[in-house]
Chain A
Amino acid sequence: MKTALSAMALALTATAVVAEDTVTIEFAYPYSHLFDVTYEAMMPAFKEAHPNIDVKFRATYESYEDGTNTILREAVSGNLPDVTMQGLNRQQILVDKGIAKSLEPFIAKETDFAKDGYHDAMLSLSTFGENVHGLPFSVSLPVGYYNMDLLKEAGVETLPTTWDEVIGMCETMKANGIDNPIFWGWNITGNWFMQALMWSQDKAIVENGVVTLDSPEALAAMEQMQKIFTKCEMQNLEWKAALSSFSAGEIGMIFWSTSALGAVERSQGEFELKTGPFPGMDETPKGLPAGGNAAMLTSASDDPKVQEAAWTWLKFITSGEGAAEVAKTTGYMPPNKAANEVILADFYDQNPNKQTAVDQLPLLRDWLAYPGDNGLAITQVIYDGIERIVTGDAADMKELQQDMVEEVADLMPNG
């Protein structure tokens, strides 16, 4: 009897120990069509290295905006995930509201953090007020995708370096019976392409907490867009429809984030695909906004084991083999020196299309967030404004600029 009891007690403690050993952390990320394959590829190695950490994936976010909102809602209702992937331009708001935790205490405990490939230029994308709040996971830059078969059919041999050349190509292609020469990704998340044209002229869209839509550079950007849209007779396609049209070989060239490269290659029809650097306005761009997302620690748990597990996961996906998977499965670049230079050394030679964005890395600038609670609403105002250019609803760019400036001013804090 006594032995039976003690055996039971032993069994109980044993199960308790096992249960204590497995730590479950919850994790959520955006854009399942891009990243599902990446995490699938990472998981076996992670499971092997850390068998006692169970990563529970939550439903994916539809977009960066959706991701930020979901986190804000979850912060109010008290069921935050432990780690979340947030758009680089949406980190600020989570830091301001105190939802994303500073990573400094964890970094301080790491002995060879720099050796793991984390370097300052990349970390600066997630540094707020001297403190690192996120580890960049994937970085993208805008590039041009070209259907070389269609281009050759139209008699174009060289890739363009300025938008005027792009317009010229459109006209040649049109004359040679290609109906749908271009898709220019104005509707990409977070006004990214508007910011790309602004950075091309070395102008930030937000300076000292003020949106610079009233600047001559903004007007030049809008006029440039109008020229592209009207002279190329660009159709107003939804971006998913545009990507599928391009994959089907119907569109000559698209300008979009390098991030979609993996997805496009997977669904690509029979044609030669080439990527090229993002064209500039009259000259090559002086800067381009960094797209992509960063891993942030949002765990509300006080349990050091959970926090430690969350940090382990964060580190795993942003360094070494984990980070290398990002480049292998998507068109993103892993913002990690070690992954880029050691593990991926031959990778870019074999995948020249993915090299394009890497070549543009010196141009990397911040993807800026608009200030205040109305940040997302301001994004929408600019989106709506550009849409009016695409649909031809607005013909006078000065007038449109004025409208947009007024609407944005109305949404600014203290405005």
Chain B
Amino acid sequence: MPAIEPSLPVAKTKAVAGHAAKERRAAWVLTAPALTLMVIVLLAPVIIAGLLSFTNYSLGNSGFDWVGTRNYEKLFTRATYEKMFLATLTYVVTVVPVSVGLGLGTALLINSLGRFREIYKTIYFLPVMATLLAMAIAWEFMLHPSIGMVNRTLEMGCGTFLEQIWPFMADGCADRFPVWLGDKRYAIWVICFIGVWQGFGFNMVLYLAGLTSVHRELYHAAEMDGAKSAWERFRLVTWPALGPTTVFVVTITCIRAFQVFDTIEAFWPQGGGPNKSTYVMMFAIFEKGIQQNLIGVGSAITMLFLAFVMFLTLIQRWLVERKVHYK
């Protein structure tokens, strides 16, 4: 009898171990399709692009040479790429705060409405649903320097009091109104404007969703504690409660801002804007890798792009883990 006793737990652990191994195997089998897909569709291309960024591969060639970090050196020394970073940063730094701010603002306003909420939501959300490329073509017509709607509308202001109070108007009337898409002073701002116009509706919807999770009681409590003004209530209750939403919205908007491409490709299929003033990263990748077949340089920009987006995502993770959650 005593001889059997110790063997019992052994058998049991064996059985348990066997069971666990089986479960583990089943788990692997079940995740295998997803894993394989992830490797094939996501990881492998990234690794290949990473490797190609150290070569001078050109599409259609049978071979390539390793060129070390020469592609990356080019990125940090050439004037063209300096313009690329400048354009990308200008776009991101402008579009992210403005479209997050507008998104929050409209969400709060819509939330305070009793009636017509749905109508306003739809109006602001429409540009998000429209394809940016198609919208870009519509904008191109509107921004046409002489027969476009924008300049035609501005011309109607000529001869009115606007000319006295607005120097831009006076200049435009005296000479001519800007060639919006052909002038390096305006091009990037036009792109930013369209980016904001197109993107803030999405942020608004996210904030509206965030607002529904703010408990009414918190406002009552804050009011009892002396937060009388709307601003105080916003500062003490709404804004902290929206913390997780804001982190998400900012990250998403940042990544989307880095990805801007459609408008630029539609407006300036060649060259990335007047004097490369709107030569953003995505367009640079497209131009080098796809239009000019220079896969090496294209991959190097892609890797850099990936690094930026990765960095943003990591910041987001870090913020989320630091518990911006209001609990």
- Residue positions of A touching B, CB distance < 8 A: 62-63, 65-66, 69, 72-73, 75-76, 93, 97, 99, 179-180, 187, 235-238, 241, 244-245, 248, 250, 373-374, 376-377, 380, 383-384, 387-388, 391, 393
Contacts and interface: CB of A to CB of B under 8 A. Distances in A.
Interface stretch (B142-150, B230-238, B247-255, B256-264): B142-150
B91 interface: no
Contacts of A93: 60
B223 interface: no
Contact of B274 (A97, A244, A391): A391
Contact of B293 (A62, A72, A387, A393): A72
B290 interface: yes
Contacts of B181: 238, 241
A66 B293 CA distance: 11
Given A241-B140, A373-B294, A377-B292, 4 more contacts: A235-B182, A236-B274, A380-B271, A380-B292
A188 to B, nearest CB: 10
B179 interface: yes
A69 to B, nearest CB: 6
A97 B59 CA distance: 10
Interface residues of B, number: 31
Contacts of B145: 235, 237, 241, 245
Contacts of B290: 69
Nearest to A189: B270
A236 B179 contact: yes
A244 B179 contact: no
Contacts of A387: 271, 274-275
A93 B61 CA distance: 11
Interface string B310-321: 000000000000
Contacts of A380: 270-271, 287, 292
B144 A73 contact: no
Contacts of B152: none
A179 B80 CA distance: 33
Given A76-B60, A380-B271, A374 B291 contact: no
Contact of A97 (B60, B269, B287): B60
Contacts of A393: 184, 275
Given A235-B179, A373-B293, A63 B269 contact: yes
Interface in B60-89: 60-61, 80
Contacts of A62: 269
Contacts of B267: 238
Nearest to B146: A250
